[in-house]
């Protein structure tokens, strides 16, 4: 039944048709041979319009025709896409994209969190049961020398898009992940991946892996490592891509709100990377420059050729995470010329990637999506200079005051403290002490929240035991609940005021429940994707089930998101 006959039939039946999605062309109906997932670390949604305006075809901004603009002009854009949970960090962001759920289910609560069982902090991807591969991490008898390669997805409690595809195809689907960061490669690739690779800059400038994925690097990864690409990028340095006048929407190049690399007097163009190398952990310097994004595309093209991705009728998955955008954001913030230049150069790298996919896999045979793992706040010192109500806060003094209030109320217990840990904007109480004293945990959590609510830097403090009931009427608290795992997360949530951060005076960070951290792009392109856009609210957890529908694969087993109906319904018109 064609579209007009279908609509006429609905009209005869007395039905009305409503849609808040604009669609202009139908997609290919073929199941893609390759899905390329693109995560741009710390990419705020406004960067698409601020750096590369797509609303006016006559003034398309500074992006070229084959990168971001191709995704918007040929693919599908979700204009109001958000993280539906907090805290918004890299580890949980990457896990949520590919599991279709939130930290409450997949268990990646932050990049690092305090573990009650061991009384230690743990890292989201650390695994001492494996060893590094491709890095000088073991000696002749197998003794571990370093921890850079001791990583795996074992802390993630649910399956990923690639995991389910592996099972559904009897292991025939090939699944790979790559990033400059270990967590950015490992969590998207999943448990059953053929490989996850991350960049080890110090001394080497190579991609490495762990024995979770195999005992040796594939030959094509070894060849890439030996190609001299890292050395060439260091030698090339970093200059503006376009004339300085193009960056007039940004702050002046030399301003007090940006941090400098070690060894330089001021953070300004051009950057002599060779001169900065020795004081900035060697090739790790590339992680915070456009060269880091170039290396990810180099790896992607090597993987397509070396692993034979997208070369048969079984869908493969390649998860790419571009980390350089996060490093530059932390150093200089969202309004620096360096940040804009990073995205202009990333745009060119996306064109290089998409052109190669057309050539190597075939136009109409691949599907790509692009999103981010979190956004980023404005630099508070910059915003405050414009009379905006933002500032910095440090929870240390607050926690000291709250501990003193707890001692006054409940007394001392030797050298033990009532507050066990404070991190990720959560307060963890000393449960064993409370239980021995017969004191109700929720009572103490409410007392702590009341004490914290007097701090002017906080929007609110909420006892975790009260949060589920409050979530029904408070969307901010609902996000906190989705990021909370009882027994493993904190007892009290601390919510800084919008735009307030616990950070240095230059650059920025992320982690909050507010739009500067939650509003990120969601773009889709290729087989199974129509051209259009929607302003309906979508969430990061919706991406995996949407792709599952496109590739006809089971949902990840912890999925709590929903397929993006505007995209899929438009595909069927």
Which structure tokens are listed for 480?
Answer: 């906190």
How would you class 28 by CB atoms within 10 Å of its CB: exposed for 0-12, middle for 13-18, buried for 19 or more? middle
Antiparallel, parallel or unpaired: β 195-200 and 175-179: parallel
Q: How many CA atoms lie within 13 A of 25 on its CB side?
A: 12
Distance between the two ends of the chain, CA-based, in angstroms?
10
Which structure tokens are listed for 36?
Answer: 């390329």
What is the rounded distance in angstroms from the CA atom of residue 204 to the CA atom of residue 195?
A: 20
CB-based contact 322:296 (threshold 8 Å): yes
DSSP state of 317: E
DSSP state of 359: I
What is the rounded distance in angstroms from the CA atom of residue 355 to the CA atom of residue 353?
A: 6
What is the rounded distance in angstroms from the CA atom of residue 291 to the CA atom of residue 232?
A: 9
- The number of residues in the chain equals 573
Helix (H, G, I), strand (E, B) or coil at 483: coil
**Is 99 annotated as catalytic?**
no
- In degrees and rounded to multiples of 5, residue 505 shows phi and psi of -80, -10
What is the rounded distance in angstroms from the CA atom of residue 181 to the CA atom of residue 115?
A: 22
Which structure tokens are listed for 527?
Answer: 């087989």
What is the rounded distance in angstroms from the CA atom of residue 50 to the CA atom of residue 135?
A: 40
CA–CA distance from 185 to each of 22, 138, 151, 296 (Å)?
A: 34, 22, 10, 11
Which structure tokens are listed for 208?
Answer: 């490495």
What is the rounded distance in angstroms from the CA atom of residue 274 to the CA atom of residue 272?
A: 6
Antiparallel, parallel or unpaired: β 316-322 and 34-40: parallel
Q: How many CA atoms lie within 13 A of 503 on its CB side?
A: 28
Q: Of 561, 562, 560, 558, nearest to 107 (Cα)?
A: 558
- In 316-439, where do the E strands start and end? 316-322, 366-371, 419-423, 426-429
> Which residue in the list 90, 315, 339, 371 is annotated as catalytic?
90
- In degrees and rounded to multiples of 5, residue 277 shows phi and psi of -55, -50
The gap from C-alpha 571 to its chain's centroid, in whole angstroms, comes to 27
Dmax (CA) of the chain: 79
DSSP state of 358: I
CB-based contact 319:188 (threshold 8 Å): yes
The gap from C-alpha 212 to its chain's centroid, in whole angstroms, comes to 22
Q: What residues are labeled active site?
A: 90
């Amino acid at each position: 039944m064609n579209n007009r006959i279908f609509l006429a039939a609905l009209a005869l039946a007395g039905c009305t048709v409503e849609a808040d999605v604009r669609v202009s062309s139908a997609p290919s109906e073929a199941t893609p041979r390759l899905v390329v997932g693109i995560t741009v670390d710390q990419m705020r949604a406004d960067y698409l319009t601020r750096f590369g305006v797509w609303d006016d075809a006559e003034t398309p901004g500074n992006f070229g025709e084959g990168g971001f603009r191709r995704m918007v002009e040929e693919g599908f854009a979700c204009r109001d896409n958000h993280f539906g949970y907090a805290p918004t960090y890299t580890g949980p962001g990457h896990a949520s994209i590919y599991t279709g759920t939130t930290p409450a289910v997949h268990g990646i609560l932050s990049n690092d969190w305090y573990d009650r069982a061991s009384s230690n902090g743990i890292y989201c991807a650390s695994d001492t049961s494996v060893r590094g591969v491709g890095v000088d991490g073991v000696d002749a008898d197998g003794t571990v020398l370093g921890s850079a390669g001791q990583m795996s997805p074992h802390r993630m409690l649910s399956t990923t898009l690639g995991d389910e595809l592996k099972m559904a195809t009897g292991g025939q689907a090939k699944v790979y992940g790559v990033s400059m960061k270990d967590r950015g490669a490992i969590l998207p690739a999943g448990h059953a991946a053929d490989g996850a690779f991350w960049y080890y800059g110090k001394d080497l400038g190579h991609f490495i892996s762990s024995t979770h994925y195999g005992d040796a690097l594939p030959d094509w990864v070894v060849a890439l490592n030996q190609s001299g690409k890292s050395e060439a990028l260091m030698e090339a340095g970093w200059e503006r891509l376009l004339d300085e006048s193009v960056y007039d929407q940004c702050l002046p190049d030399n301003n007090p709100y940006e941090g400098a690399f070690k060894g330089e007097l001021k953070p300004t163009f051009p950057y002599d990377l060779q001169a900065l190398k020795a004081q900035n952990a060697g090739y790790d310097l590339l992680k915070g420059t456009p060269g880091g994004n170039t290396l990810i595309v180099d790896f992607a093209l090597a993987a397509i050729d070396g692993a034979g991705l997208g070369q048969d009728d079984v869908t493969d998955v390649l998860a790419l995470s571009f980390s350089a955008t996060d490093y530059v954001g932390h150093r200089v913030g969202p309004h620096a010329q360096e940040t804009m230049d990073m995205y202009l150069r990333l745009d060119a790298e996306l064109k290089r990637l998409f052109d190669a996919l057309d050539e190597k896999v075939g136009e109409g045979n691949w599907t790509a999506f692009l999103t981010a793992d979190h956004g980023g706040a404005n630099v508070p010192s910059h915003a405050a200079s414009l009379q905006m109500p933002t500032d910095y806060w440090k929870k240390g003094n607050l926690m000291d005051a709250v501990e003193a209030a707890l001692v006054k109320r409940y007394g001392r217990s030797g050298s033990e403290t009532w507050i066990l840990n404070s991190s990720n904007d959560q307060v963890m109480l000393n449960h064993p002490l409370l239980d021995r004293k017969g004191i109700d945990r929720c009572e103490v959590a409410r007392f702590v929240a009341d004490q914290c609510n007097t701090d002017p830097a906080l929007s609110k403090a909420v006892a975790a035991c009260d949060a589920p009931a409050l979530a029904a009427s408070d969307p901010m608290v609902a996000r906190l609940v989705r990021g909370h795992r009882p027994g493993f997360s904190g007892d009290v949530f601390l919510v800084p005021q919008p735009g307030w951060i616990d950070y240095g005076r230059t650059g920025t960070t992320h982690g909050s429940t507010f739009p500067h951290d939650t509003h990120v792009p969601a773009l889709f392109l290729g087989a199974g994707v129509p051209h259009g856009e929607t302003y309906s609210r979508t969430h990061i957890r919706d991406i995996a089930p949407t792709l599952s529908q496109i590739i006809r694969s089971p949902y990840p087993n912890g999925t709590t998101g929903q397929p993006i109906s505007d995209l899929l319904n438009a595909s069927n018109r």
